[in-house]
Amino acid sequence: MRLRQEEFVHPTQASGVRLQVFRQPEGFLVTEENRGSTTVYRTLGLFETAAAAEACARARGEELLARRYQMVATAA
C-alpha cells in the first residue's frame, strides 16, 4: 500500500523524479523513479518505522530541490 508520493520535474531538462513510500510486510519501502530518455528505478531503503521512511523521502526531496527540480504533485 502506498503511503506517500511526490513528483518533481526539472525546469530545463526533460527529466522527472517520483518518490514513493510503501507499507510492506517487512517495513516501509522508499523508492525513486527517474524518468528521462529511459526510466530508472532505485530503492532508497527499507525502514522499520514510517517516520524513518518519511525522513528519507523528505531528505531526497530536499536534495532534488537543491538541484533545481520543482515539486509538481504530492499525494498520500
Predicted model pTM? 0.90
Per-residue confidence (pLDDT) for residue 44, from 0 to 100 = 97
Across residues 52-60, what is the average pLDDT?
Answer: 97
Do residues 21 and 29 lie in contact, with contact meaning Cβ atoms separated by under 8 Å?
yes
The model's pLDDT over 3-53, given as tens digits with 9 standing for 90+, comes to: 999 999 999 988 999 999 999 999 999 999 999 989 999 999 999 999 999
Residue whose C-alpha cell reads 516501509 in the numeric block: 28
Q: Is the pLDDT of residue 73 over 90?
A: no
Longest dimension (CA), the chain: 39
DSSP state of 68: T
Q: Is the pLDDT of residue 76 over 80?
A: no
The Cα 26–Cα 38 span in angstroms is: 30
The domain limits of the chain are: 13-75
Per-residue confidence (pLDDT) for residue 75, from 0 to 100 = 80
